[in-house]
Structure 1
Amino acid sequence: MFRSSITFMMLGLLLIVSPGAHSQKVRWNKVKLLFYTKNGQGFVHDNISNSIQAIRELSAEYGFKVDATDDPGVFTDDNLRQYDAIVFSNTNNNVFDTDAQRVAFMRYIQAGGGFAGIHSASGTERKWRWFKQLLGATFYWHDKFQPFDVLILDEHHPSVKHLPGRWSRSKGDEFYFLKEMGVNLRIIAVNDATTLRGDNPKRLDTFGDVFPSVWCQEFDGGRSWYTSLGHDKNDYLDPEFRRHILGGIKWAIGKQKPRDYRRAYAATPLDPVRKAGKR
């Protein structure tokens, strides 16, 4: 393994971001979110109802509107344009019924929409290249549920600025190892593998002693934020973790302005991402 200090510096090079880059203000009383919880065939987390409770209580506290659903039929151009961000909360496996729904989601992002993914959202649509690019990676495996530490790299990001530099997941979480990671991610936090118990040979050595766990990016006209944390249902009752989620959603919203569907170009889920200026 590379020494963790060297690895930490290398990851830091991915994150040369001034404090002003995260300073946008959100008028929460003007915000409307889609909170999506669909699961395909396979494992379904028992934390979904608690995550819905959390977003509804945050809605009441901050004054924004939220629609929580597991119905993929809501993914149409006409319906999605009303939302400032779409949150995939512990979605898993295939979560759309039709390619038309996938294309509507693509077009929403291309029109300037925001996306936030929580925990097993990285296990969603595992064979769809565009979605994996949007989220920033795809699920590979996780170590057993146990305590470990999270190291904050970008202390100014709204999803972590309330947290200590070493965030102890003392009650336990799942240490996710992901693959097919994007090259333009802004790494916000990393999990410290040296705080895991035992020596599992399956642990990836790609990043030495740390592994990215929270990141954001601008992608295909929109903004994307992801956290691999949040396995336990009690996380969503924790004010500290709720602030983590809300801060990520805030970043994903960015500048509050209507979606511009003149910039949306997708016709099939396989359409390649166009470079900026090539709309």
Structure 2
Amino acid sequence: MKRFLLLTLLCLASLAPSAFAQGQFKVLVVAIPNRYHHDYAVVAKPQFERMAQMHGFDLAWSWNSTPFDGDLSPYAAIVLLNTPGDELKGEQRAKLEAYVRTGGGVMAVHRALIFNPPGDWPWFERLIGRTFRIHPMVQTATVRVEDPAFPATFGLPSRWVWTDEWYEFNAPVTRGLRTVLSVDETSYDPTRIWPGQTARGMGKDHPVAWYHTYDGGRVFVTALGHTPALYDDPSYLAHLYGGLWWAATGKGIDASR
């Protein structure tokens, strides 16, 4: 009997890597360094790895766009972490479009919201939902929770003191955007910018995070996340995982709304 139990335990141990190590879904994080966002990734990567361990999902990480040359279907969501659409070329763009149209989720973070040159890939701009205009210098401001029923706000207070680049946007290019967070422009100076540039703010309605369904897929967008040190903040990580969870599964929204 003892020998049988020992053999059973040994068999279970040999199966563990394949049978028991699989997460509830798989996520691809694409973090391509660029001129203004190159030191964040070495801080963000271990935090995403801890997030995956904590929440039981599988994580693939890439410093370049090569995953878009292959099969994207294993991923429940793709995180564009400070990685804009202009990093993708030719067939890579077609691969992302096909992925979304088959129900894939996308989470776009901070620099991923800026596409250059504007108008070069309209599909991606509609995926994001708004086009970037300008941003003032990094400042502390008050963030307001606009949708407490969305998972990306569950770990946040109703008013949140946060320091970041406060991106300004043009009018929405996609219908049906649902604002998750906004910034109170009375709590910082929207005109504080570098010589030769002009920023005027967006006024009372200044979204900094939103979500929508687009072309068959789920999209969560957050403009927050400029400074590498922000990845050490548990509230910010809760914000990211809430949005990622919804993008990957469609779950967590209050169905009674």
> TM-score range with shorter-chain normalisation?
0.7 to 0.9
**Deviation string for 1:202-241 (max 9, x for gaps)?**
2244xx2340101000000000001101111111111111
User: Contact conserved, 2:218 with 2:250, CA < 8 A, in 1?
Assistant: no
How far apart, in 2, do the equivalents of 1:87 and 1:129 lie?
19
Q: Which runs of 4+ in 1 moved over 4 A?
A: 198-201
1:104 aligns with 2:99: no
Alpha-carbon shift at residue 39 of structure 1 (Å): 4.7
Alpha-carbon shift at residue 163 of structure 1 (Å): 1.1
How far apart, in 2, do the equivalents of 1:199 and 1:102 lie?
36
How far apart, in 2, do the equivalents of 1:167 and 1:43 lie?
25
**Deviation string for 1:29-88 (max 9, x for gaps)?**
221000011256x43342122122211111122221111102322114x52000000000
User: Contact conserved, 1:44 with 1:92, CA < 8 A, in 2?
Assistant: no
Alpha-carbon shift at residue 148 of structure 1 (Å): 0.2
Q: Which amino acid aligns with 1:43?
A: Y
Alpha-carbon shift at residue 198 of structure 1 (Å): 6.9
User: Contact conserved, 2:136 with 2:190, CA < 8 A, in 1?
Assistant: no
**Structure 1 residue runs without a partner (length 5+):** 1-27, 257-279
The correspondence for 2:124, drawn from 96, 116, 131, is: 131
1:153 aligns with 2:146: yes
Number of aligned positions between the proteins: 222
**Deviation string for 1:158-201 (max 9, x for gaps)?**
001221111111xx211111225233201111111110137556
How far apart, in 2, do the equivalents of 1:72 and 1:255 lie?
25
User: Contact conserved, 1:113 with 1:253, CA < 8 A, in 2?
Assistant: yes
Partner of residue 30, structure 1? 24
In terms of mean alpha carbon deviation, does 221-230 or 190-199 score higher? 190-199
Q: What root-mean-square deviation, in Å, do the aligned CA atoms of Structure 1 and Structure 2 show?
A: 2.0
Q: Which amino acid aligns with 1:38?
A: I
User: Contact conserved, 1:39 with 1:92, CA < 8 A, in 2?
Assistant: no
How far apart, in 2, do the equivalents of 1:158 and 1:33 lie?
17
Three-state SS of the structure 1 residue aligned to 2:71 is: helix
Alpha-carbon shift at residue 251 of structure 1 (Å): 1.1
Three-state SS of the structure 2 residue aligned to 1:108 is: helix
The correspondence for 1:64, drawn from 50, 57, 67, is: 57
How far apart, in 1, do the equivalents of 2:33 and 2:93 lie?
15
1:230-245 to 2 correspondences below 5 Å: 230-245=225-240
Inter-CA distance 123–190: structure 2 relative to 1 (3 Å threshold): same
Alpha-carbon shift at residue 255 of structure 1 (Å): 4.5
How far apart, in 2, do the equivalents of 1:166 and 1:147 lie?
13
**Structure 2 residue runs without a partner (length 5+):** 1-21, 193-197, 252-257
Q: Relative contact order, CA 8 A, sep 6+: which one is greater?
A: 1
1:178 aligns with 2:169: yes
How far apart, in 2, do the equivalents of 1:47 and 1:62 lie?
22
User: Contact conserved, 2:183 with 2:208, CA < 8 A, in 1?
Assistant: yes
The correspondence for 2:199, drawn from 202, 216, 233, is: 202
Inter-CA distance 244–143: structure 2 relative to 1 (3 Å threshold): same
Three-state SS of the structure 2 residue aligned to 1:79 is: coil
How far apart, in 2, do the equivalents of 1:219 and 1:154 lie?
19
In terms of mean alpha carbon deviation, does 241-250 or 131-140 score higher? 131-140
| Higher alpha-carbon Rg | 2
User: Contact conserved, 1:113 with 1:223, CA < 8 A, in 2?
Assistant: yes
Three-state SS of the structure 2 residue aligned to 1:253 is: helix
